[in-house]
Every structure is written in structure tokens, then in C-alpha cells.
Structure 1
């Protein structure tokens, strides 16, 4: 089945794997770099600026993908990525080090990713079909998790001692991805000719105003934010809770290989378990999902995912936490490809870039709620957070269900209008 997919899809999966493999060896550790070179407070501010700039660039990139076509925007973004990584190498060479030049290049890199990602997402929708999307997103999700797992191992081992060499490897992979994008990817969307002022802010605002008026899509986005807000609790309130509440203790499986377990180590263990399970179970779950109703699978996935995370919110039993991660991962494997496939059916094909850029709000808003979770936990405790997670799960299901019903209603009204016009 994979061999029969459009070449663009296969190329994008390969390049996305390589890009995340190389990038995740470096970028998750940049807080350490800026803390070491400047200070912790400045490091946090700089990285926040980079995230905001990338988020805003995504809106412009999504609009450009609808105005210029997918390939042109992706190639331009990949060129910018190569230039920014080359600048980071210059700023961290054996004879010259500049954290401020590194930051400037990191911001430029964020802009490049903001430009590339919506165009690439729109391109995947262009060349996929309703029958293949669940499988495509499952494979892509598996690829992402495998690359991140391998990259974290390599980055954790080499970042502090071989940062310069990691940047060189990142540049080499980025040049290869640029070549693949330029030489192998086919254009999938030829836009109508635009007026001379197409690149000013007015048409951009008009484009996104149209997206914001699409109530079913906005409701679906709200549902996505509710679910992603749960996932982002792991690296925020749950990390703090486990560090404070899990005492040092010996842990072993069936009395074998006892190790000293702390809250931080347990969080790392649970994260590795989640990633490994995704890598190992994706093929089986994807096969099982074939011909299953996407909506039911998404709702089931939301429910199982929320139930697993609600246990993680309060339990201090290591075996129970490990079991909860297994449950949560199964839910994740069910809802991620199903939701992506439904999302692809909900967006206007003439504005796919803008819609996919707007969908990026799901991740950014989820991160914000993740940070707020720490304060909420201080106020309501672990059991209170478990209840809040279940409420967010219900919100995700209800909002997504309402969005799908309104989309169907909107389509039905459109059919009636066409019939009336024809008669």
C-alpha cells in the first residue's frame, strides 16, 4: 500500500524523518546552550521569542502556499533553513563563538520552519485521498516518534561535547532535504493569478478572516486544543508533581535489575515507554484501523487518552503509572491519524495552506494550557487535575462532534442551494 502512494507523500515522510532526526539532536537542548552562554532568564526569553516568531511566520507561510503554490514556498523555506544553519555553524566555530548571532540564526530558522510546515501539510492533503489519509498520518506519526527517540539519545550524548559537529551534520541533512524538495517533489496546487498587492497584509488578513468565519473548523480546532492541552501537561505540571512526590526508591521488574528511581528518572522512563510503544504498535493499530469509522475511532481515542492521563495526574504507584502510559498511548494511536484525516476533509481546498497554518494554533494554545497546568495543580491538587483532564477530554469530544455535525449540515445546505439554482 505504501508503495502505491503519491511520490510526494513518500518524499515528505522521508524528509520529515531526516529533518526531525537532525533537528531534535540540537534544538531541544538550546535552553542549555543559552543558559551556559548568557543566563537562564535570558535563555527563556530568547526561546519564547523564537517560538512566537515561528508561530507568526506560519500564518504568512500558510497564506503564501495558497498564493504561490506548495513547492515554491517549501523550496524557499528550505533555502532559508540551510542559510540559517550555516550561520549557526559560523557562530559556533572553534575560532569564534557568538550566542547572539546564534539566536538571530535560530529565529531565522524558526521563520523558515513556519513557512515550510503549512505548505507541506497542505501538499499532503492535496495528493492524498480519504481512503489513504489515516494510513499516511499513522506512518508519519510513527516516523516522527522514531526520529525524535533516536535524536534524543544522540543529542543527550553528544550535545555538550560535540555541538559544532552536530550542527555540521544538521547542515548536511538540510542540504539533502533542499535537493529532494527542489528536484523530486511535484507541484500539487496551481493557484489563480493574484493581484499585485497579494503580498500585503490586507489580503492576508482577509484570507484568515474567512477561515475564522468557518465555525465548524473553529469548533474542531477548539476540540484539538482541549486534547493537546492534556498532552502538554506531561512536561509541565506532571514533571513537577513527579519530581516533588516520588521519593527515591529501588524499582525492579520481577525482582530483576533493581535501579534507584526518582521523579525525574520516572518521567524519563514514562516518556521512553510512550515513544517505544508508538514505534512498536503503530503498524498493528494502523492495520486494525483500516475501514473503521474515523469519527468513532477518534472519540474512542480521545476517551482512552484522557482516561490514561487522568491517572497520571494523581497516582504515585510506578506500576500503575506505567500501565496508565500504555492505556494513554493506545488512545493516542487511535485519535491522531483519525483526527488528521477528518481535519483534511473539513478544510476549503482553495485555502488549505491558510487552514493548516491556523491549525497550528492547536499546538501553541496547548503549550499555553500546559504551562497554566502548573498553577492549576497548585490550586486543586492531583485529583483536581484528574477531574480537569476528564473535563478537557469531554470538551474535546463535544466540540469535535459539534464541528462535524455543523460541517455536514453546511454541506447539506449547499446541496439544497445548488438544486434550487439548477431548477
Structure 2
């Protein structure tokens, strides 16, 4: 399915979201280093965990609201909220005010509004794209994000240190522009039956209904295992923004990346991290669609299991070297584990989700990331308590356990009379 054949909603989103993603990735990868420097590694890790608790709750509420009040409505409100949060963050790090605490609060709010945006955006794709094309469309959106991951950190390495205030200001303005574009140029796609709301309900009634709906979702053992396994796997790939930048900043010091005779191009820890992040984004942007086309030919069980084992091998390699080229090789393996499941995991969720509950299913599924991101920052204080070696070994072990749970998940789903087998073969 070519982009020119896409629904107009998706075309608008693809280019609008690309702009904010590039700006976002110009400063986001360096924020962990910033907070660790301002608060210390112990406190920064615990604060990041605390901030993600709100994102988990917002994610669940976002799925409910996307089904009840509309995909477009939630995306517009979320983009506008992110814009305001970035603008206040810019003020907190401006020539007139220097408040790391206010900056951290704004960072937490950005995460909350992102969690509201995500379920609605994913459900919109499922609303307007036929099942046979969904993996391809999801892969292209993922590719666009990773093009931003290539461009953003490179520009950030140039501008972040001296122009952080300006970058945050630009991010806020672009988010608000995106909200206006979404409001003017997209249409609502939520099935009408999802928006039936009793006007006589009390203000808190939606929370009660929401808990009932999620109770039904989590009774699906296969889907529950999918989430738990995803949370464990997330402990590895979430470290790309958490542990790895701190690790490289501490252990990579003016290493020669390229050398010709007496001339050498050396990199510091922050530059090494920028290179690794750009490598990840470049490989994802280049190979996502191709790898997805290959992976859909294989059993989903094998793809999920091997992906987790690949993550385990890669994160273990990271902990065994501080040589820049060793880190680059580890990142290549890490990226391959990521690419294996990019397209099929979203397609898997849309396949088993009832049409009128897609938003909530995507919200529940994205708990793999929001809840995983809540736990992942514990790796930062762990390096103080038990050291880097054991921290990386524990992360690798969690990825192996994830592979075991994925295997168990498909073993259950292949039994007769399971929830998934009634809704669609996996």
C-alpha cells in the first residue's frame, strides 16, 4: 500500500508528527544526562520512575477516552498539552529562570500528554487501514520516527548545549501548530458505537466503566502474557534513553573513531551516545519496511522469542565493552532485535481487539512501554548499588525471561477455546 493511497488523516499525521519528532529528538536523549547532573544518579532514577507512574494512568485513561470521545479529539488535546508543557519547560531553562525542578515537572507532563496521544493515534490507523496493510503502515510510521532519531541527535549534539532554551521553545510551538493542523485537516474515525456516553452519568462514572472494560481485557490470558513479556523486554530497549547515555558519558573518553596516519577523529562520551542513537535511527529508517516484509513470512511466536533473545545478547554486549566500535556492533544487534517486531506487534493487537474497544486494547498493549518505562530508570541507581556489570547482566536475564513468556503466550493461544483463537489466528 503506497503512501499516496493512504487515508488523508494518515498523510497529515505522517508529515506533521515527523516535524515534532525531529525537534523532540534534538534534546530528549540528553535529558537523562541533564537530570542526572542536576539531581544525582540516585535521585534522577527515582524521579524518572515517579514521573512514569502518571504516564501509566494517563495511558489507560487515554485509551478509554479515545474510544468514547474520539481519536481526533484526544490527539488535538494531547498535542496542545504537550506544546504548553514544552513552553513552560523552556521558561524553566531560560535566561530569566533556572529551575530544574520545574523542568522535571514539565517533562513529566510531556510524558502524560504523550500517553494520551498514543492510543488514539494507533487506533486511528486500525480504523482506516485494512488488516492486510496494517503492518506495512505501522512500519512506515515507525520508520518516520526513526528518521527523526537519525537527524535529531546529530542536530542536538550541535545545538543542545548552547541552545536548549531555543530547542524547547521551538518544540512547544511545533506541537501547538500540530494541534491546529489536526483540528483543521483531519476527521473523526472512531466507530459511532464507541462514543455512546450516558449524559446522566456522574463525572466519575467513566472511571468505573473503564475499570470494567480493562477487567475484561486483562482476563484474556494470552493478551496479559503479551503485556508482561513486553514489559520485561522493554527493560532492555528503554535503556537506550536511560542507562546507555550515562554509561557512555562515564566510560568513553576521547576514543579514536576514525584514524588515518597521524590524523584521528576522536569522540567523547556524549558524542559516542549521539553516534549510537543515530546509528539506531538510521538502521531502523533504512531497514524497517524490508525486515517487516521478511518477518511476516514467519510464525509470530518465533519472531517474538528470537527478538527478545537478540535484545538479551545485545544488552550483555554493551556491558562488556567501552570500545566505541564494540558499542557500535552491539547497537547493530540491538537494532535488529527491535526491527523484528516493529510491524507485527501493532498488527497483532489490532487483530485481536474488538472494533469498539480498539483504543483501550492499544492503550493496554502500550503498557509494555509506559509501565516498562516506569520500571526502567531503576537501572540508573542500580549501577551505584551493584555496579554496571551486574546491572547489564540482570537486564539480559529479564530479556531471556521475556522470550520464555512469549513462548508460553503462543502455547496458550494455540489451544482450542482460547479468547484469541475465537477472534483470529495468531
TM-score w.r.t. the length of structure 1 is: 0.80
Match of 1:194 in 2: 197
* 1:361 corresponds to 2:364: no
Equivalent of 1:302 in 289, 297, 308: 308
Aligned length: 414
Assess, with a 3 A threshold, how the Cα gap between structure 1 residues 85 and 402 changes in structure 2: closer, same or farther. same
Is the contact made by 2:32 and 2:241 (CA closer than 8 Å) also made in structure 1? Answer: no
Secondary structure (helix, strand or coil) at the match of 1:252 reads: strand
Shift of 1:278: 1.9
Match of 2:329 in 1: 323
* 1:227 corresponds to 2:249: no
Assess, with a 3 A threshold, how the Cα gap between structure 1 residues 319 and 339 changes in structure 2: closer, same or farther. same
Assess, with a 3 A threshold, how the Cα gap between structure 1 residues 387 and 88 changes in structure 2: closer, same or farther. closer
Counterpart-to-counterpart distance in 2, 1:235 and 1:34 = 12
Match of 2:97 in 1: 97
Shift of 1:70: 1.4
Counterpart-to-counterpart distance in 2, 1:241 and 1:337 = 30
**Larger RCO (alpha carbons 8 Å, 6+ apart):** 2
Counterpart-to-counterpart distance in 2, 1:416 and 1:238 = 42
- Structure 1 residues 150-159 or 215-224, which shifts more? 150-159
Counterpart-to-counterpart distance in 1, 2:246 and 2:106 = 32
Deviations for 1:214-258, whole angstroms, at most 9, x for unmatched residues?
211110011212222122345555556666666765453676953
Shift of 1:343: 2.6
The two structures, once aligned, show a CA RMSD in angstroms of 3.9
Counterpart-to-counterpart distance in 1, 2:235 and 2:43 = 26
Shift of 1:146: 1.5
* 1:206 corresponds to 2:207: no
Secondary structure (helix, strand or coil) at the match of 1:194 reads: coil
Deviations for 1:98-151, whole angstroms, at most 9, x for unmatched residues?
736656655544443232222112222222333222212221222112213322
Match of 1:62 in 2: 63
Assess, with a 3 A threshold, how the Cα gap between structure 1 residues 174 and 274 changes in structure 2: closer, same or farther. closer
* 1:73 corresponds to 2:74: yes
Match of 1:343 in 2: 349
Counterpart-to-counterpart distance in 2, 1:162 and 1:56 = 33
1:164-183 equivalence runs, <5 A: 164-183=165-184
Is the contact made by 2:83 and 2:174 (CA closer than 8 Å) also made in structure 1? Answer: no
Match of 1:216 in 2: 222
1:275-286 equivalence runs, <5 A: 275-286=281-292
Shift of 1:64: 1.0
Counterpart-to-counterpart distance in 2, 1:316 and 1:168 = 35
Assess, with a 3 A threshold, how the Cα gap between structure 1 residues 167 and 345 changes in structure 2: closer, same or farther. same
Match of 1:17 in 2: 18
Assess, with a 3 A threshold, how the Cα gap between structure 1 residues 77 and 268 changes in structure 2: closer, same or farther. closer
Shift of 1:181: 1.3
Shift of 1:14: 2.2
Structure ID, larger Rg:
1
Match of 1:371 in 2: 378
Is the contact made by 1:236 and 1:374 (CA closer than 8 Å) also made in structure 2? Answer: no
Shift of 1:379: 4.8
